[in-house]
Amino acid sequence: MASDLIEVEVGDLPPLRPEEASLLDMHSMLNNLNILQSELAGHRLTLAQDADLLKDGLTVCREMIAALGDREKNVAERRRASAALRPHDGGD
């Protein structure tokens, strides 16, 4: 049975509140991690020559997905990453 798909273009949206933007970002990150896991699983035959590499890659994905639900850990990681990306003043 064939079904007709209706394409709908989303026009201008009102600006998101910060908490909505954060949820959208988290959802996007979760989607990307799920895609990465699927890609790793899809390449498992190629990676089978290095089972540890495959296992490590999947473990990192699972840890990142689990961390998405831990708000305090996310805030701490974001601050750590932001600090690491800031230019240093050169005076140690």
Per-residue pLDDT, averaged over 76-83, amounts to 75
- A 10 A CB-CB count for 61 gives 20
11: left (phi over 0), alpha (psi -120 to 50) or beta: beta
In this prediction, residue 83 carries a pLDDT of: 75
In this prediction, residue 2 carries a pLDDT of: 66
**Closest Cα partner for 16 from 8, 26, 6?**
26
What is the distance, to the nearest Å, from the Cα of residue 9 to the centroid of all Cα atoms in its chain? 25
Does the pTM exceed 0.85? no
- Rounded Cα distance, 64 and 57, in Å: 11
- Rounded Cα distance, 25 and 22, in Å: 5
**Domain segments of the chain as ranges:** 21-85
pLDDT tens-digit readout, 8-66: 887 887 888 888 888 888 888 888 888 888 887 777 666 667 777 777 877 887 887 88
- Rounded Cα distance, 72 and 70, in Å: 6
